[in-house]
């Protein structure tokens, strides 16, 4: 007999894991700062921290504040019509009522593949965009499951959470670059055994830290998808709707025309990776579809 899963338990666990992973990124950033302080001067620790934070915040602020407009423009989405997209509009209104959130602006993008995404810096500025393929291939329960998943991203402030992760990754990348460059200005301890070891450790950390941070961010993204699935079930009380939609998505393929319309930079926004990373789940922004379906069927 399959063990039943509680969507409330799934939500709590995945949120907790996301926080732990975020803490891992912060610890990595502090480690780089510590190494810079040891190699150069302890007083530089806070200077590096401040520079990294300011530059990273400035770099990501624009994308965060205008995330909805950038995402919609990149896929050439058009506002949904209350006449031509009546079922979609009803599904969004129903899920807004179930979640207690404001009704987001609704858009439709031309794509044969079944997919959708949500964007916006907060519930008051949120948008939901659905592909024409989703409207054509999904029934009412499946479409509501997809909309509930996207409303869950809005309710859980996932755009804000992932923006914070992006800021932290930017900070690590900047700090790692400073660490690498700091070796050119440090010659005091290079001749000692301790200095040589510190030098090697510093180079390894500076090279691997940004890669590690990116992998952790991808893991956070996958946990947020699981959380959105579970929160979507909380809104619909019908896990089979989203599970059935994901089953159809699993066998759906990206056409050459769709690939031209979707930029790879926006792929993490979608409820399912449009390009289906086949290399490894470690490098994917989304968890395996089969595992998502299994968890939903167990709720």
Name the catalytic one among 142, 144, 150, 225. 150
Tokens of 169: 């990754």
Name residue, tokens 């961010």.
Answer: 217
At a CB cut-off of 8 Å and minimum separation 6, what does 90 contact?
A: none
* CA distance between the termini of the chain: 13
Strand partners, 270: 117
Is residue 115 within 8 Å of residue 274, measured between CB atoms?
A: yes
Q: 140 vs 40, 86, 88, 274, 283, CA distance in Å?
A: 62, 11, 9, 22, 33
Our answer to whether residue 150 is catalytic in this structure is yes
Pairing status of strand 116-119 against strand 127-131: antiparallel
Name residue, tokens 């056409």.
Answer: 255
Q: Which residues are catalytic?
A: 150
């Amino acid at each position: 007999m399959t063990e039943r899963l509680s969507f409330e338990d799934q939500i709590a666990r995945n949120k907790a894991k996301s926080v732990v992973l975020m803490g891992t990124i912060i610890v990595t950033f502090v480690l780089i700062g510590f190494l810079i302080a040891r190699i150069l001067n302890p007083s530089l620790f806070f200077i590096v921290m401040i520079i990294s934070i300011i530059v990273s915040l400035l770099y990501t602020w624009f994308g965060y504040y205008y995330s909805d407009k950038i995402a919609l423009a990149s896929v050439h989405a058009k506002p949904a019509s209350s006449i031509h997209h009546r079922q979609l509009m009803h599904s969004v209104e129903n899920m807004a009522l179930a979640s207690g959130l404001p009704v987001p602006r609704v858009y439709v993008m031309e794509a044969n593949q079944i997919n959708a995404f949500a964007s916006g810096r907060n519930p008051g500025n949120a948008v939901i965009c659905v592909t024409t393929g989703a409207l054509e291939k999904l029934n009412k329960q499946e479409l509501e499951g997809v909309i509930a998943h996207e409303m869950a991203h809005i309710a859980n402030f996932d755009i804000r959470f992932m923006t914070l992760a992006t800021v932290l990754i930017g900070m690590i990348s900047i700090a790692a670059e400073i660490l690498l460059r700091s070796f050119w200005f440090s010659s005091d301890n290079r001749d000692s055994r301790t200095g040589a070891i510190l030098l090697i450790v510093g180079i390894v950390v500076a090279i691997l830290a940004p890669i590690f941070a990116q992998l952790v961010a991808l893991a956070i993204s996958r946990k947020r998808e699981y959380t959105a699935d579970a929160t979507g079930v909380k809104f619909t009380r019908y896990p089979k709707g989203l599970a059935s939609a994901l089953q159809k998505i699993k066998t759906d393929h990206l056409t050459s025309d769709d690939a031209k319309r979707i930029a790879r930079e926006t792929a993490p926004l979608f409820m399912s990776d449009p390009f289906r990373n086949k290399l490894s789940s470690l490098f994917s922004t989304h968890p395996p579809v089969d595992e998502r379906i299994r968890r939903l069927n167990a709720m």
